[in-house]
Homo-oligomer: A and B are copies of this chain.
Amino acid sequence: MNRNDKPMNAFYAQSGGVTAVINASAAGVIETARRHRDRIRKVYAGRSGIIGALTEDLIDTSREPIANIRKLRHTPSGAFGSCRYKLKSLEENRREYERLIEVFSAHDIGYFFYNGGGDSADTCLKISQLSKRLGYPIQAIHVPKTVDNDLPITDNCPGFGSVAKYVAVSTREASFDVASMCKTSTKVFVLEVMGRHAGWIAAAGGLAADENTDLPVLILFPEVTFNRRRFMAEVKRMVRNYGYVSVVVSEGVRGRGGKFLSDQGLVDAFGHAQLGGVAPVIANMIKQDTGFKYHWGVADYMQRSARHIASRTDVEQAFALGRAAVELALAGRNSVMPTVKRISNRPYRWKIGSAPLGRVANVEKMMPASFISKDGFGITKRCRNYLQPLIMGEDYPPYRDGLPDYVSLRNVPVKKKLATGFRP
């Protein structure tokens, strides 16, 4: 509550790549705000993220039945739409910030909840700072979300645990498959996963094997420069010992010159440049160097939208962080991000903390070197201890006719109040 104790509206937007659980955070924000109507009148969502604010394309979430809001908890993707749109600095583009304040002011918006990764934390911080300078102070709270798991201070980021679970489960299942056939057929399975800068997601492939399930898995991290000779020696060793091997490769793996391995300068029969993934590149190298029969898969959007196999821990944290964001706002906090604080590994216990955005924005959390095994192809015990709780528990969506029953919201627009338009 601010502005003479008159309840204000809130603005919520989803930013960047969507995840299996970002809508659970949205549910946390909206359900919690609805329980405090005396202080937060309505939650308006930006259609397609922050662009919705710039273009005054707002969604009135109060027009959405509570049953639909509750279904957000089990629906992947961004229910209001998302975008990759990074606001420039005030010096470079003051017009954008002024426009945001203009829209917020026109719609009595006093709370700004921005659900995203590093860039959106930065935007959130700037809006809070500049809105004050422009004479329309807004409480800006960042809700963490990113499959890349690269935000600082928070123990982990909602979205990551579910991708990690998907990658671990898929690697285990595909490994069982290859093991069955390896005597006479495929000996190497290559799975490409996301992660352009950090190997968090690829690392999750290492969870496929554990003390009860012995499987040969090699990981290619973006943090480790690809060495073809050493990698092939490992592939051959694994095939010698197990009969087969699964390779989990991060899309961001690079060769000696720092060039992405996926960028092979492929041309088709007509000389057109072709963009492929890194999995076929690795697979073709294996064929050339070892002669082993291979198969490869690319998990692409499936990995981050696989709500059907989401981690229950991840869903609970995503919802809790959305709720905490509103509670922080109601407590008068500003320029802050709720975080996950890990209390213990076994049993896994966590609680909600908070971090000032000044310490979050523009800081990337890389995988610690101590998480990658000495040979560079696996995860350490320490990494396993960190990752394992994040994939714990299942949280199955309801099904209808054999398929997950995901909600598509009505997304009723808020009537525009401004005569002016805006082209982002």
With A and B bound together, what is the CA distance between A391 and B405 in angstroms? Answer: 14
| The residue from B174, B178, B403 contacting A168, defined by CB atoms under 8 A apart | B403
Interface size class of A (residues with CB under 8 A): 35 or more
Let me know if A210 and B403 touch, CB within 8 A. yes
Residue of A78, A81, A178, A301 with most partner-chain B CB within 10 A: A301
With A and B bound together, what is the CA distance between A291 and B298 in angstroms? Answer: 22
Residue of A172, A275, A299, A401 with most partner-chain B CB within 10 A: A401
Known A-B contacts A51-B184, A169-B308, A268-B264; A210 and B176 likewise in contact (beta carbons under 8 Å): no
Known A-B contacts A173-B305, A393-B402, A402-B388; A77 and B179 likewise in contact (beta carbons under 8 Å): yes
Let me know if A406 and B274 touch, CB within 8 A. no
| The residue from B77, B178, B185 contacting A180, defined by CB atoms under 8 A apart | B77
- At the interface, yes or no: A302 with Cβ under 8 Å from chain B? yes
Let me know if A280 and B288 touch, CB within 8 A. no
Closest Cβ–Cβ distance, residue A84 to chain B (whole Å): 6
- At the interface, yes or no: A421 with Cβ under 8 Å from chain B? no
Known A-B contacts A173-B308, A177-B77; A168 and B402 likewise in contact (beta carbons under 8 Å): yes
Let me know if B48 and A207 touch, CB within 8 A. no
Which residues of A (181-236) have their CB < 8 Å from a CB of B?
A: 181, 183-185, 189, 191, 207-208, 210, 212-214
| The residue from B75, B185, B280 contacting A84, defined by CB atoms under 8 A apart | B185
- At the interface, yes or no: A170 with Cβ under 8 Å from chain B? yes
- Chain A residues at the B interface, C-beta cutoff of 8 Å: 14, 17-18, 48, 51, 75-79, 81-85, 165, 168-170, 172-174, 176-181, 183-185, 189, 191, 207-208, 210, 212-214, 264-269, 272, 274-277, 279-281, 283-284, 287-288, 295-302, 304-309, 311, 388, 391-394, 396, 399-406, 408
Write 17 A-B pairs (CB below 8 A) sorted by A numbering: A14-B180, A76-B173, A82-B180, A83-B181, A83-B183, A83-B185, A84-B181, A84-B184, A173-B305, A173-B307, A174-B301, A191-B302, A213-B403, A268-B284, A274-B281, A275-B287, A295-B301
